[in-house]
Amino acid sequence: MPAQCEKPSFTTMKTQYYTASSLDGFIADPENSLAWLFQFGDGPEGDYPEFIKAIGAIAMGATTYEWLLKHQIFPEAGQPQPWPYTQPTWVFTSRELVHVPGADIRFVRGDVRPVHQEMVEAAGDNNVWLVGGGELAGQFHDHGLLDEIIVTIASVTLGGGAPLLPRAIVSPPLRLIAARARGTDFAQLTYEVQKARA
């Protein structure tokens, strides 16, 4: 186990899967709820402001997008807020989804490779953020396009739900580059995805 608090890895031009997870590896419970996370307030304090500043392009799956609309954007959210991202956002879906007026949202489907190319071009010197879910992050990993996993583990187990990353990544293993405690509720682990030798 490396020493705690190595250098944060928010340097330039990486494709990062940055998310929060339960201890048993779920990013949402079986009902797609994040109540387990929001019981801690807005979630883990700490590096998000620094992280998002270094992001130039964002990708998410349809379930995550619809969760955002329902819980944060649309009137049914209770206290609706504006679309949270200034960065261009690619939403993967096979359906026609509602657009958020004024937001730079691009609906795409299929192979992640050409989309990733567009995202990297749009991001310039900044990073690409894969918001989730895990299967979508896995599709980027399948094509060697995932550089880093930053997972903030909440001190809960869910027993089931949306998996963090439904892939076998065994050899080469992930390389742990930072591990930090965030109060008594969270531990954040940063892993580099090591590329397999050709």
Ligand X SMILES: NC(=O)c1ccc[n+]([C@@H]2O[C@H](COP(=O)([O-])OP(=O)(O)OC[C@H]3O[C@@H](n4cnc5c(N)ncnc54)[C@H](OP(=O)(O)O)[C@@H]3O)[C@@H](O)[C@H]2O)c1
Among 24, 25, 51, 63, binds ligand X (CB under 6 A): 63
Q: Is 72 in the site for ligand X (CB under 6 A)?
A: no
Q: Is 150 in the site for ligand X (CB under 6 A)?
A: no
Q: Is 28 in the site for ligand X (CB under 6 A)?
A: yes
Among 17, 67, 90, 140, binds ligand X (CB under 6 A): 67
- Return the number of the residue (56 or 61) whose C-beta is nearest ligand X: 61
Shortest Cβ distance from residue 20 to ligand X (Å)? Answer: 4
Q: d(Cα 59, Cα 123) in Å, to the nearest integer?
A: 12
- Return the number of the residue (70 or 124) whose C-beta is nearest ligand X: 70
Task: Say if CB 132 and CB 60 are below 8 A apart.
Answer: yes
HEC-encoded secondary structure of the chain: CCCCCCCCCCCCCCEEEEEEECCCCEEECCCCCCHHHHCCCCCCCCCHHHHHHCEEEEEEEHHHHHHHHHHHHCHHHCCCCCCCCCCCEEEECCCCCCCCCCCCEEEECCCHHHHHHHHHHHHCCCEEEEEECHHHHHHHHHCCCCCEEEEEEECCCCCCCEECCCCCCCCCCCEEEEEEEECCCEEEEEEECCCCCC
Shortest Cβ distance from residue 14 to ligand X (Å)? Answer: 18
Q: d(Cα 48, Cα 188) in Å, to the nearest integer?
A: 12
Site for ligand X in 151-180 (CB under 6 A): 162
Among 13, 32, 47, 107, binds ligand X (CB under 6 A): 32
Shortest Cβ distance from residue 16 to ligand X (Å)? Answer: 13
**Count of residues engaged in binding ligand X, rule: CB under 6 A:** 28
Site for ligand X in 80-139 (CB under 6 A): 92-95, 109-110, 112, 131-136, 139
Q: Is 27 in the site for ligand X (CB under 6 A)?
A: yes
Write out the residues near ligand X by the rule CB under 6 A. 19-20, 27-28, 32, 34, 37, 60-64, 67, 92-95, 109-110, 112, 131-136, 139, 162
